[in-house]
């Protein structure tokens, strides 16, 4: 049987592994930062009706420029944004891939501060973009001075700042974004996949005016509880949106995706009603684990990164055996735990208490 090593892969893909996380059918799944609350019945009914209407014309290609969806996204983000400043794709990973296809490539580099989202280097590899990882300081919080120094040293083509950062949960301060933008002449991406869970900071979309090299990426997978639909989006200068049109595949957003996402945005207040509860469960989880002697890092997301495990591999497997799935990312002494429903949070607190 042919194996991967027998194929003529590009050199920068040899020895690499695809992105992946366990998908066990467990009772408590807290490993991929999903919103574990179900979609409200009234919203599900409206989306189902929209999908039925879309199916009836599915013999035709969908709106290639998904104008209605982009208008809905602009309205949701607010701050005076217009539809020509919005883009969307099948998850924010595809959005970021299109950004790298347009602005990265051979001879260009992408820089970020690690640990951070593990897809960034994979997306760089897939587009033949060089990857530069700069370690975060103790506590993981970035400062303007450290960011400026790193950009001066490495002179990257693109920079991605994740805020709140995955997997650490660390919030991203406005001063860091501004310092990064002014420190180099490349494209700056602010990845706000978890932004709705941070109730203390303004979105970077407020910084777009007058900054044509700034892009703000978002997703409906987390706060909107829409992970299975696969809808990510980006706000930027209209010229950046035009650049992404050069690399997108024809009709890349299906009629069904457009219908579901547009309808969900119309119900944004209802869809986001669980965010406050998730923040409360995140804080309750953090307080309980701190009381047990673990180190819980500050988080503005829907998860916490927890340090102080003498045997994180053993704890991960012991929880898995109890039907609780969390994330082991290979960070020394650490595990990441998504904040779920009240019952799910209670289950993981009790299990760690008993196993610890």
pLDDT tens profile 136-185: 999 999 999 999 999 999 999 999 999 999 999 999 999 999 999 999 99
Bridge partners (DSSP) listed for residue 305: 336
- In this structure, what DSSP letter does residue 204 have? G
CATH architecture of 21-37+274-355: Alpha-Beta Complex (3.90)
The pLDDT assigned to 4 comes to: 87
Per-residue pLDDT tens over the stretch 303-312:
999 999 999 9
Q: What pTM does this model have? A: 0.96
Domain ranges of the chain: 21-37+274-355, 41-267
CATH number of the structural domain 41-267: 3.40.640.10
Per-residue pLDDT tens over the stretch 205-235:
999 999 999 999 999 999 999 999 999 999 9
Q: How far apart are CA 272 and CA 39, in angstroms?
A: 10
Closest CA to 234 of 33, 103, 98: 98
The pLDDT assigned to 356 comes to: 84
- DSSP for 290-324, written as a single string: HHTT-EE---SSSEEEEE--S-HHHHHHHHHHTTE
Closest CA to 320 of 296, 355, 288: 355
């Amino acid at each position: 049987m042919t194996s991967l090593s027998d194929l003529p892969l590009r050199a920068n893909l040899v020895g690499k592994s695809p992105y992946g996380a366990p998908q066990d059918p467990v009772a408590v799944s807290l490993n991929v930062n999903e919103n574990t609350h179900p979609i409200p019945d009234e919203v599900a009914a409206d989306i189902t009706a929209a999908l039925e209407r879309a199916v009836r014309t599915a013999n035709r290609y969908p709106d290639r420029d998904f104008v209605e969806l982009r208008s809905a996204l602009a309205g949701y983000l607010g701050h005076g944004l217009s539809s020509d400043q919005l883009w969307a794709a099948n998850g924010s990973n595809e959005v970021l891939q299109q950004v790298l296809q347009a602005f990265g490539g051979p001879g260009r580099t992408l820089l970020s501060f690690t640990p951070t989202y593990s897809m960034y280097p994979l997306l760089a590899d897939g587009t033949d973009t060089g990857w530069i990882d700069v370690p975060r300081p103790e506590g993981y919080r970035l400062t303007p001075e450290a960011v400026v120094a790193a950009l001066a040293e490495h002179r990257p083509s693109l920079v991605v700042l994740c805020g709140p950062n995955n997997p650490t949960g660390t919030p991203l301060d406005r001063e860091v974004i501004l310092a990064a933008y002014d420190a180099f002449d490349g494209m700056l991406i602010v990845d706000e996949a978890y932004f709705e869970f941070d109730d203390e900071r303004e979105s970077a979309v407020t910084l777009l005016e007058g900054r044509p090299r700034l892009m703000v990426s978002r997703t409906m997978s987390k706060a909107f509880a829409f992970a299975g639909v696969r809808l990510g989006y980006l706000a930027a200068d209209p010229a950046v949106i035009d650049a992404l049109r050069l690399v997108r595949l024809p009709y890349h957003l299906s009629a069904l995706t457009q219908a579901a996402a547009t309808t969900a945005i119309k119900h944004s207040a209802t869809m986001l009603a669980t965010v406050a509860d998730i923040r409360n469960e995140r804080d309750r989880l953090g307080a309980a684990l701190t009381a047990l002697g673990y180190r819980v890092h500050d988080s503005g997301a829907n998860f916490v990164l927890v340090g102080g495990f003498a045997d994180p591999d053993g704890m991960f497997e012991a929880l898995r055996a109890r039907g609780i799935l969390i994330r082991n990312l290979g960070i020394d002494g650490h595990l990441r735990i998504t904040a779920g429903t009240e019952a799910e949070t209670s289950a993981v607190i009790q299990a760690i208490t008993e196993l610890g």
